[in-house]
Structure 1
Amino acid sequence: MVAIGSKALPLRIAEICDLIAECSVAGEDNTYNQGGRRRNMSRKSMKKTKGLDGDNSGKNTSGGNYNSNHQDQEASVPHTSFLRQQVDPETAKYFTEISNVIEGTEIDLEERSSICGNALEETRGKEVELATDYIISHTLQTLLQGCDLNQLCTFLQNCSKDFPRISMDRSGSHVAETALKSLASHLQESDTQDLVEVTLNDICRSIVVNPVEVMTNCHGSHVLRSLLCLCKGVPLDSSDFHSKKSSQVLAQRLNFKASRVDESGTHGLQMGFPDMLKFLVSEILKAARKDIEILQVDQYGSLVLQTALKLLAGYEDELLHAVPIILGCKGNFIDKNVVKRLLSLMKETAFSHLMEAILEVAPETLYNELITTVFKNSLFEMSSHHCGNFVVQALISHARNEDHVELMWKELGTRFKDLFGMGKFGVVASFLAACHRLNSHEQKCCQALIGSVCMENEPPRCIVPRILFLDNYFYCKDKSNWDWPSGARMHVIGTLILQSVFRLPIEFIHAFISSMTSLEEDHLLDTTKDNGGARVIEAFLTSNASTKQKRKLIVKLKGHFGELAVLQSGAFTVDKCFDVSNVSLKEVIVSEMVALQGEISKTRQGPHLLRKLDIEGYAKRPDQWKARQTSKETVYNDFISTFGSKETKYNESFTENRPKTQKEKIKDMRKEIDTQLTPFLAHNKKKSGQKRQSDGTERGDVKFTKHATEDDVGKSKRKAHRKRKHTEKM
C-alpha cells in the first residue's frame, strides 16, 4: 500500500469530491424537465447495466424500447480488458515526496516549473501505471498544471499510444482532462501552435484506431468530447458541448436566446485546429460505421456524436457526409427502411438527443429531406411520445421557411388541445415561437391556442388563467368548475407561452389582452409574485397593447407597489409599471415605496430601482419631483407632435419591411430624444453652472433640472410654432 505525506492528505479530500462530481457529469442523462408536473413531460432515466470497461464504471444504455438485438450488437463491440499494474514502492515514495514539496510549501513559479518538469521525466515508460493509480494520479495532475509546454507535450507524446487506455480509466481520465486543459491554456501564448498541433495529431491517431471503445466508455467519452472541443478552439468547460441545461435549450426554442447555429462562428472561440477536427470526426465515423447502430442507442457514444455535430456547425460538406452515416444510411439518401428504423429510434432516449443535435446543425437541403421523408405524416404520433416529443420540438424550432410551418400546421394545428391533454406543452410552445420567428400562421396559432383552453361560448377572461395553470387545468377532471388555484405554482411552459403571445402583432392577440386586463386584483397580485407570472406581466406591459389597457392593469396593483418592490420578481414589474404610467400613477407608485426605502435598498434590484424612480428626491421634495416628471413627459409629447410623422416615415423606409406599431414608433422617438436632445439639455445645464448627475440606469435616462427643462420645453414649442407658421405662409 502506498503511503502519502500528511501535508498532501487534506488536499485529497477536495480532489476526491471533484472526481465524484465529474463522474456524475460524465454519466448524466441530461434529460430536459420542462417544469410543472413531471408526468409524461421528460425522458425516462436510462437503465444501468454492468460496464464494459475494466474498472466497472457506470455504463448506461438507452431506456425505452431497448431490445435484445441491441444487446447482442453491444456485445460485439471490440474491447480490450486492461489490468492495472501496481506502481513499484520506490517510484511511489518518490512521487509522495514530490507531492509534499509542491503542495506543502510556497515556491516561485520558475522553481515550481523546474520541479514539475524533472518529476515528469521520471514518468517516462511508466505513464499508464502512474496515471491510473488513484493516489499518484492526483500528483500527476498537479505536475501537468505546473510544467511548461515542452514538458507537457513530451509527456503526452510519450504516452500517446496509451492515451485511450488512460482516458478510459476512472483516475486516468482526470489526468487526461488536466493535460488537455493545460494544452488549451498554453494556446493563448505565442509560437506554441506547431508543438501543440504535433502532440494533438499523435493523440488523435491513437484514438481513431478503436474509437468505439473510447466513445462507449463513461470516462473515455468525456475525454474524447474535450479533445474535440480543443481541436475546435472551444473552451473545455463550455456547457454547450458537454451538458446543456434544459433552460438553455428551452430559451433557444422559444426565441428567447439565439442558438449556436445562429450565433457568430467565432464567438467565444480560442485558437483551434479545424482541419484536425474534421480529420478526427471523419476517422471516428469511418471506423465506427459498422457499429453505428450501437452508438445510436448508447448514452456515451451518443454524447460524443452530438458534440461532434455541434462543433461541425457551419461546415456544410462535412455535415452532409457525417449525418447520413450517423443515421445509418447506406448512401447519401434516406430510404424507406431507414425511415422506419429512425422513427423507432427517436423513441429511445440517447438517439432522441442525437436527432435533436442533427436538426440543430443540418444544412437546409438535409433538413428538407428529413422533414419530408422522415417526419411527414408522423408528427402527432411522435409528439405523443415522452422522448419523441422533444425531437418534434427541435424540428419545429429549426424550421427554415413558411412551407415547413405549413406542413407542421396540417398535422398539429388542430391538435393543440390533445397535446395539452397529454402533457406535451413544449410542442405547442415551440410551434408558437416558430410562427412568430417566421411571421407565418400567427393568427391561426393564436386561434388554436384559444380554442384549446376556452369553450366556444365562454368569455375570453378565462384564457390567461388557464394557460398560467396549464397542468392544473388539464389534469382537472371537472374542467367546467375549474377555478384559480390559490397558492399553486404557475406552470413554466404556460407562462412562456403567454410571453410569446404578447410578442405577436396586436391584431392577433385582442382576446389575450382582454383576458389579461380582466384579471381580478388578488389573482393579478398572485401572478406578479410568481417568477414566471411576473414575466408575463412584464411581457404584457411591453407589448403592442394600448397604453390605456396597460394602465387599466397597473391601477389594480395600487396599494401593493411597495410590497412588490421588495420581491426579486416584483421589482422588475414595478420598473415596467413606472415606464408605462402617467405622472399621477408614477406618483402613486413612488409614494408607496418611500416608507420601504431601507428594505428595497437591500435587495438585488433595489438600488437601481431607487435611483431610477428617484425615491429619495420624492421623499425630500415631492413637488419638485412631480415637476421634473411633468416636464420630462411634456418634452416627449412635444417631440412626438413636432417630429413624429417625419421620424416614423424614415424608420419605416430604412429599418423595417413591415409597418411599425405605435409602441415601436414611440420607442424609436424616445431613443432619438436620448441621443439628440439630451446633449443639448446637458449643454444648457453646464452654461447655467449646474452640475450634471447621472441616474445610472441602463436606459440612459437623464435627470432634468426644473429651470433647464422648462427652458428646453419653451424652445421646442417656439420652434414648432415657427415651423407651422412658415408652412401656412407657403
Structure 2
Amino acid sequence: MAGEENHSGKRGKKGSMSRKSSKKHPGFDGHHSTKNFSGGVSAKTAKASKVSKHQIDSGPQTSFLRKQVDPETKKYYSEIANVIEGTEVDLEERSVICGNALEESRGKEVELATDYIISHTFQTLLEGCDVNHLCEFLRSCAKDFPYVAMDRSGSHVAETALKSLAYHLDHLQDDKAFSDIEETLTMICQVIVDNPIEMMYNCYGSHVLRTLLCLCKGVSLDSPEFHKTKSSTILAQLLNSRPEQLERKDSQHLQPGFPDQLKFLVSGMLNCSREDILSLQTDQYGSLVLQTALKLLVGHEEELMHIIPVLLGCNMENMVEGNLIKTTSVQNLLRLMKETAYSHLMEVIVEVAPETLYKELFTKVFRNSLVQLSYHNCGNFVVQALVSHARSQDNMELIWEELGPKFKDLLGMGRAGVVASVIAASQRLHSHEHKCSLALAAAICSTNESPGCIVPRLLFLESYLNCKDKPNWSWPKGVTMHVMGSLILQLVFRFPSEFIQPYITSIAAMEAYHVLEASKDSGGQRVVEAFLSSNASAKQKRRLVMKLRGHFGELSLHPSGSFTVEKCFTAGNLSQREIIVSELLAVQTELSKTKQGPSLLRKFDVDWFGRRPDQWKLRQASKESAYKDFYSTFGSNETKSSKTNSFLAETPRTSQSENLKEMRKEIDATLASAAAQSSTVQFLAKENSTTKTRTSGHKRRAERAEHKGETSAKDFVGGDVLKSKTKKQKKEKNHGGDEKAVEKKKKKHPRKDD
C-alpha cells in the first residue's frame, strides 16, 4: 500500500515488517532470506510464530529426509551442464538433450532438485525441454512437490518448472498439450491441499504457492500487480484507482487459465481449523498467499463472499447477507488491523470486497474508528485502502465527518498518505472537493499568512513540519522535495479552478529560480506539469512558463525534464512557443543524441523552425485555429467552458478525451501533410518563375547579339535549350486541359511526321 513517511521508514516497532523490507522480500522474489520477519504475531498467536520459526530455521528436512546425490550422478549432470551451456548446440538438439537428462532423474527428482549445484542445472533443463518431458518430470515428483518447493534450492526449480508451463501455455500446438498441463496441475494441487499450512508458513513454499495460484488463474507470473516494490509507485496507483479497474483486472489474462484448479486450491487452503486460519492471517508468508488468492478472485463475488467472511473470523453458521459481522468481533478486527501482516491482508479485503460486504465493513467496523486507525503506524495503511476504494458519496460523507477536521493532526503525525487518499477520493467521487481544498490549505497555512507559502510548504512538507519556527520557514537549499507533498499537490490541481485559487496564486507567485529548481526535481516537476494541465487560466500558466525562459534547452536534455518542456509548449502562446523552440534549436545536436530528443524535436518542428521560421509560425497558427474549431464542435462541456486559450490544453482523462487525442493526432498529420504540399507547390512555382526569368534574359541577349551580328554559338545553344524546356513545361502544364482544344490545334499545325 502507500509508502507512508514515518521517519523510521517502518511499520511498527523493532521486529515488525517494514515497507523498506519489501526490497529484501519483494513479492514473488522475496524468498532468498531464511530470516523470519513475521513480527506482527502477538503473544496470542505464539503458536503461529513457533511454527514459522521452526520451519524456517530447521527447513523442510524436519519432516523429510533428503538423500545425498551419488558422485556418478553428480558427474553426469556436470557434463550435461557443460554441453547445454555450449553455443554450438542448436535448439532442437538442446531440447532432446534436456529431455533425456530429465528422464535420467526419474525416481531421484527430489534430491537432485534440492541439491545446491545440480538445482541450477535442473533450472536450465526445465527451461529447454519440451512440454511432454516437463509434465512427466512434475508428475513424477508431484507427491513430493511441497518438499521441493519449501527447500532453498528446490524452490527455484519448482518456480522454473511453473514458469516453463506458463511459457508452453502461450505457445500451445494442440489440445493434448493443454490436457497434459491441466492433469499435471491437478495432481500438484491435490497433494498441496492435503497439508497446505506447512507450505503457506514457509518463506520459500509460500512464494511457489503464489506462483502456482497465478498460473491456475492465467495471470502472467511476472505481472506487476504481484511485484510492487516501490512504495511511491504503489501509492500513485492507489490514488489513481477507479472501481472499474478492479473489474478490468479479471479479464486481462495473458494465457489460458484453469479456474477449477484455482477454486480447488483456494478452498483447500481455507479448509483448515479456525486456529490455523487465525495464525495464518498474522503470519507474513501466510498472509501473502491469502492476499494473492483474493486478488486473483476479483470479479468472482460468490467466491469472495465465502472467503472474506472466513478471513474476518465470522461465524459461518447461519450466515445472513448484511449481517455477517457480529458486534462482538469488531474490537478483535480493530486489534488485528494493528498487526503488520493482517493490516496488509485487510488492505486487499477492502479493495476486492463485493459492494454489500464493503458497506457492512464500513458501517460496522470502520465507522467511528477511522481517526484511531489513522494514527496507528499499521492501521493508517488500512484506512488509506478503505478511503481509496470508497464506493459512493455516502461513504465520502462519513469519511469527511471523521477525517476532514483532522488534516492538520494527520500531517503533523506523518500520516500524509491518509490526507492524500481523502483528497483523491473526493476528486474521484466529486464530493467535498472545496472542503478538502480549504482544509488542506488551513492545515499548512494560518489565516494571517499569505497563501503564497502553500505550494512551497507542501513541496518540502517534511522540512516544514520539522521546523520549530514554522512562521519563518523558508525554501531550503539542496533538499529533495517531499514525495507525498508532491502527490498531494498533483491531486489538488485536478480540482476545478474555482476550488483551488489559493494554490494557483501560490505556484504562480513562486520565484523564477524556485520554479527552475522544482522543474529539476522528480516530484516538483510533476507538480509544475499538473498545474500546466489544470483548469487554471491561460494567463496564470503563461506567467509560470516565462519564469523558465532561458532554461528550456537545459531541461529538455533530461528525460523527465522533457515532459515539463512539452507541457510549457502546450500551455504557452505563439511567442512563448517560439522562445522554447529557439532554445531547443540551440541544443539540437546534443538533444538529438538523447532518448527523448528526436521525438521532442519532431513534435515541435525544430528543424523546420531553423530553416523557415515564418512558415513555422504560420503552421502553428493553423494548428491553433484547427484545434479551436475542433474542440468547439467535439469537445466536452468542461473543455468548452475552460478558461484556457491554449489550443493544446489537455482534456479530462475519460474515454472521450482519448478519442479527442486520437483525432488531434489526425489533425496534426493532416496539417503536416498540407504544409508539405504547400511548400512543394511554392518551391515549384519559384522554380518556374526562375526559369521564365532566365529564359527571357537569354532571349534578350540573343536578339541583341543577332541584331549586332555578334551572336555566339554558346548563346544560341543556351537559348534553344531553354526554349525547348519552356515549351515542355507549358505542355505539361496544359496536359490536364481540354482535349478538344488540343486536337483542334493539331489540325491547324500538323506535324510533318504525321
C-alpha deviation, 1:602, in angstroms = 3.0
C-alpha deviation, 1:429, in angstroms = 0.6
Q: 2:27 is matched with which residue?
A: none
Cα pair 2:623 2:671 within 8 Å, conserved: no
Q: 1:67 is matched with which residue?
A: 42
Q: 1:322 is matched with which residue?
A: 307
Separation in 2, partners of 1:307, 1:593: 48
Q: 2:275 is matched with which residue?
A: 290
Q: Deviations over 1:232-261 (max 9, x none)?
A: 011222232255542332122211788851
Separation in 1, partners of 2:567, 2:274: 56
Q: 2:330 is matched with which residue?
A: 339
SS in structure 2 of the partner of residue 83 of structure 1: coil
SS in structure 2 of the partner of residue 265 of structure 1: helix
Q: 1:116 is matched with which residue?
A: 98
Q: 1:385 is matched with which residue?
A: 376
Q: 2:196 is matched with which residue?
A: 211
Worse-superposed segment, 128-137 or 198-207: 128-137
What are the residue-to-residue correspondences of 1:522-533 with 2, within 5 Å? 522-533=513-524
C-alpha deviation, 1:263, in angstroms = 2.5
Q: 1:590 is matched with which residue?
A: 581
Gap change, CA 1:401 and 1:225, over 3 Å in 2: same
C-alpha deviation, 1:82, in angstroms = 2.4
Separation in 1, partners of 2:458, 2:560: 20
Gap change, CA 1:41 and 1:123, over 3 Å in 2: closer
Separation in 1, partners of 2:551, 2:86: 58
Worse-superposed segment, 599-608 or 301-310: 599-608
Q: Deviations over 1:168-225 (max 9, x none)?
A: 1111111111111111111121322211111111100100111010001011011101
Gap change, CA 1:96 and 1:684, over 3 Å in 2: closer
Gap change, CA 1:528 and 1:245, over 3 Å in 2: closer
Gap change, CA 1:173 and 1:671, over 3 Å in 2: closer
Q: 1:140 is matched with which residue?
A: 122
Gap change, CA 1:672 and 1:222, over 3 Å in 2: closer
Gap change, CA 1:45 and 1:222, over 3 Å in 2: farther
Q: 1:310 is matched with which residue?
A: 295
Q: 2:642 is matched with which residue?
A: 661
Cα pair 1:210 1:287 within 8 Å, conserved: no
Choose which of 232, 240, 254 in structure 2 pairs with 1:247. 232
Gap change, CA 1:68 and 1:264, over 3 Å in 2: closer
Gap change, CA 1:603 and 1:562, over 3 Å in 2: same
Choose which of 452, 455, 459 in structure 2 pairs with 1:464. 455
Gap change, CA 1:559 and 1:403, over 3 Å in 2: same
Gap change, CA 1:662 and 1:675, over 3 Å in 2: farther
Separation in 2, partners of 1:664, 1:372: 46
Cα pair 1:562 1:592 within 8 Å, conserved: yes
Q: 1:360 is matched with which residue?
A: 351
C-alpha deviation, 1:126, in angstroms = 1.4
Structure 1 length-normalised TM: 0.82
Choose which of 597, 609, 613 in structure 2 pairs with 1:606. 597
C-alpha deviation, 1:584, in angstroms = 1.7
Q: 2:66 is matched with which residue?
A: 84
Identity %: 57
Q: 1:9 is matched with which residue?
A: none
Choose which of 161, 172, 187 in structure 1 pairs with 2:143. 161
What are the residue-to-residue correspondences of 1:108-507 with 2, within 5 Å? 108-188=90-170, 189=172, 190-191=174-175, 192-255=177-240, 261-287=246-272, 289-331=274-316, 332=319, 333-507=324-498
C-alpha deviation, 1:59, in angstroms = 4.6
Give the partner amino acid of 2:291.
Q
Structure 2 length-normalised TM: 0.80
Cα pair 1:32 1:42 within 8 Å, conserved: no
C-alpha deviation, 1:365, in angstroms = 0.8
Separation in 2, partners of 1:40, 1:385: 14
SS in structure 1 of the partner of residue 391 of structure 2: coil
SS in structure 2 of the partner of residue 60 of structure 1: coil
Give the partner amino acid of 2:510.
L
Separation in 2, partners of 1:544, 1:147: 58
Choose which of 33, 49, 73 in structure 1 pairs with 2:3. 33
Q: 1:699 is matched with which residue?
A: none
Give the partner amino acid of 1:198.
E
Q: Deviations over 1:665-695 (max 9, x none)?
A: 9657897676569648846965885599xxx
SS in structure 1 of the partner of residue 271 of structure 2: helix
What are the residue-to-residue correspondences of 1:528-677 with 2, within 5 Å? 528-636=519-627, 639=629, 644=632, 647=634, 651-652=636-637, 661-663=642-644, 675=666
Q: CA RMSD in A?
A: 2.9
SS in structure 2 of the partner of residue 493 of structure 1: helix
Gap change, CA 1:365 and 1:119, over 3 Å in 2: same
Cα pair 1:145 1:182 within 8 Å, conserved: yes
Cα pair 1:40 1:424 within 8 Å, conserved: no
Gap change, CA 1:329 and 1:123, over 3 Å in 2: same
Gap change, CA 1:636 and 1:212, over 3 Å in 2: closer
C-alpha deviation, 1:56, in angstroms = 12
Cα pair 1:144 1:179 within 8 Å, conserved: yes
Gap change, CA 1:441 and 1:691, over 3 Å in 2: farther
Q: Deviations over 1:114-135 (max 9, x none)?
A: 3222222222221211111112
Q: Deviations over 1:611-649 (max 9, x none)?
A: 222333333333333343344445555x37xx93x556x
Separation in 2, partners of 1:102, 1:587: 60
Give the partner amino acid of 2:605.
D
Separation in 1, partners of 2:476, 2:642: 36
Separation in 2, partners of 1:691, 1:106: 61
How many residues align? The count is: 644
Gap change, CA 1:523 and 1:315, over 3 Å in 2: same
Q: Deviations over 1:555-608 (max 9, x none)?
A: 222222222222333322121111222222222222333322233223332222
Gap change, CA 1:555 and 1:496, over 3 Å in 2: same
Separation in 2, partners of 1:379, 1:335: 19
C-alpha deviation, 1:530, in angstroms = 1.1
Structure 2 stretches of 5 or more lacking a match? 18-30, 56-61, 652-659, 684-754
Separation in 1, partners of 2:243, 2:681: 45
Gap change, CA 1:492 and 1:563, over 3 Å in 2: same
Cα pair 1:215 1:221 within 8 Å, conserved: yes
Separation in 1, partners of 2:351, 2:126: 37
Q: 2:512 is matched with which residue?
A: 521
SS in structure 2 of the partner of residue 405 of structure 1: helix
Cα pair 2:295 2:352 within 8 Å, conserved: yes
Q: 1:728 is matched with which residue?
A: none
Separation in 2, partners of 1:521, 1:101: 64
Q: Deviations over 1:413-463 (max 9, x none)?
A: 000000000011111111111111111111111111111011012221111
Separation in 2, partners of 1:450, 1:303: 39
Cα pair 1:141 1:178 within 8 Å, conserved: yes
